[in-house]
Amino acid sequence: MKIGMISLGCDKNRVDSENMLYLLKNAGYLIVDSAERADVVIVNTCAFIDEAKKEAIDTILEMAALKGKQLQKLIVTGCFAQRYGKIADIPEVDLFLDIKEEKNIVGHVEKLIGEKAPAPCADLGRIITTPAHYAYLKIADGCNNRCAFCAIPLIRGPYVSRPIEELADEARALREQGVKELILVAQDTTNYGVDLYCERKLKALLRELVKTDFWKIRILYAYPELIDEELLELISKEDRIAKYLDIPLQHIDGNILRKMNRRSTEESIRKLVTLIREKYPMITLRSTFITGFPYEGEKEHKKLLSFIDGSLDYAGFFVYSPEEDTPAYNYPERVSRAVAKKRKKELEKVQSLTTVNRQKKYVGEVLSVIYEGIDYDRQRFYGRTEFQAPGIDTRVLFTSDFPLEVGNIYNVLIESADFDLAGKTVPAR
């Protein structure tokens, strides 16, 4: 019995997919990388915004078209299944699986195909689907923040942390598999431990993880109001922690932040960014912002444009997506989608110029770069520094006079900085 998996959406979803693949493989099923070859296909979906829902539906229908060929059963799980499975009218789907039932995926497959798995199921583990040199570590699920625009707490439930010991064991197992960069993810990494230990324990977790010899440990989705100087000191001084913070700010205007039910204020955000820039300038900052949120007029948009002009190394921008059952869904004064898309383009243009300007500081420096592949169009090798996260930030393009191995770290002299950095390898110091 051949099983294929399609994982959509965020890196947290990817980890869930990797866990399910491990369970299925260890139960004796054959995992294939082509839906056309699979007897059973599992689509792990996202439903965060409209574009994600559309991608989920399109992918489900694409897989449904394979029924009657080799494909026998189609399973849909993840956020779309959790939120819409009971009302979705897609008869080709054999099972919409709740998120909490993903750990029982083997039993559900057995029931659908009418036969027992070839072998007993092993304990929870991972089949890494990222390149072998980096992996995500999901430290918690769910969210307590209740932002007015976000349906994640409705879909995933309240914040649930994993014990430090369990995470440390998984991290060691990943390192033994050859992973060199560990990327911490959760809906809110800075809230880690509040449910288990009655206090936030991200720093304690980091101190445990650095005992394993990863090249770098990267922190994503750190909420601004929970970032303190102790965390910044730990990042700045610990060699194994990437000098990088992903801080989802969402906006800068105080009124919009209140309407979003964010705990940050314009003053607190500006104070945090100033602190990092002045006291911890080695830390790269990335953020995400929503444009076109209800009540956002030209004044608020211009304020956001002004804020990102020079403030952040990297940023992503999203057009507001009205999500049913969230407080913002019923807000009046909605911004038209056309206006929101126009504002998004303006923000992206300013941020691109800021990224280019901020990267110029690396020219003339020798940076450690993890080698990831070849850009055949540009006839260059490419990789990332600790200041660049995979898939979302810029890259380093470089040449080399000696052979390279993917996943290894090399010294690269940065010779120029446009949207991507460019340089050449130099001998190890």
Same domain, 203 and 231: yes
Strand 216-219 versus strand 134-138 pairing type: unpaired
Cβ atoms of 42 and 105 within 8 Å: the answer is yes
CATH number at residue 108: 3.40.50.12160
pLDDT mean over 188-211: 97
Q: Which domain holds residue 21?
A: 2-113
Residue 123: inside a domain, yes or no?
Answer: no
Residue 304: inside a domain, yes or no?
Answer: yes
For residue 172, what is the enclosing H or E element?
helix 164-176
Q: Is pLDDT of 48 > 90? A: no
Residue 399: inside a domain, yes or no?
Answer: yes
Residue 129: inside a domain, yes or no?
Answer: no
Q: Is pLDDT of 122 > 80? A: no
Same domain, 76 and 14: yes
pLDDT mean over 211-232: 97
Residue 118: inside a domain, yes or no?
Answer: no
* Domain end marker among 345, 360, 375: 360
Residue 29: inside a domain, yes or no?
Answer: yes
Same domain, 210 and 316: yes
Same domain, 79 and 214: no
Residue 36: inside a domain, yes or no?
Answer: yes
Same domain, 356 and 414: no
Same domain, 375 and 345: no
Same domain, 86 and 232: no
pLDDT higher at 120 or 182 = 182
Same domain, 41 and 166: no
The tokens for 304 are 């956001």
Q: Tell me the percentage of the chain whose pLDDT exceeds 90.
A: 91
pLDDT at 429: 67
Residue 294: inside a domain, yes or no?
Answer: yes
CATH number at residue 337: 3.80.30.20
- C-alpha 70, offset from chain centre: 33
Tell me how far apart the alpha carbons of residues 376 and 269 are, in angstroms, rounded to a whole number. 41
Same domain, 380 and 413: yes
> What single string gives the DSSP state of each residue in 184-227?
EE-S-GGGTTTTTSSS--HHHHHHHHTTS--SEEEE----GGG-
> What single string gives the DSSP state of each residue in 329-369?
GG-SSPPPHHHHHHHHHHHHHHHHHHHHHHHGGGTT-EEEE
pLDDT higher at 290 or 428 = 290
Cβ atoms of 384 and 390 within 8 Å: the answer is yes
Same domain, 169 and 73: no
Same domain, 142 and 219: yes
Mean pLDDT, rounded, of the chain: 95
Number of domains in the chain: 3
Q: Is pLDDT of 123 > 90? A: no
pLDDT in tens, 401-424: 999 999 999 999 999 999 999 999
Same domain, 292 and 385: no
CATH number at residue 420: 2.40.50.140
> In this structure, what are the phi and psi dihedrals at residue 344, rounded to the nearest 5 degrees?
-60, -45
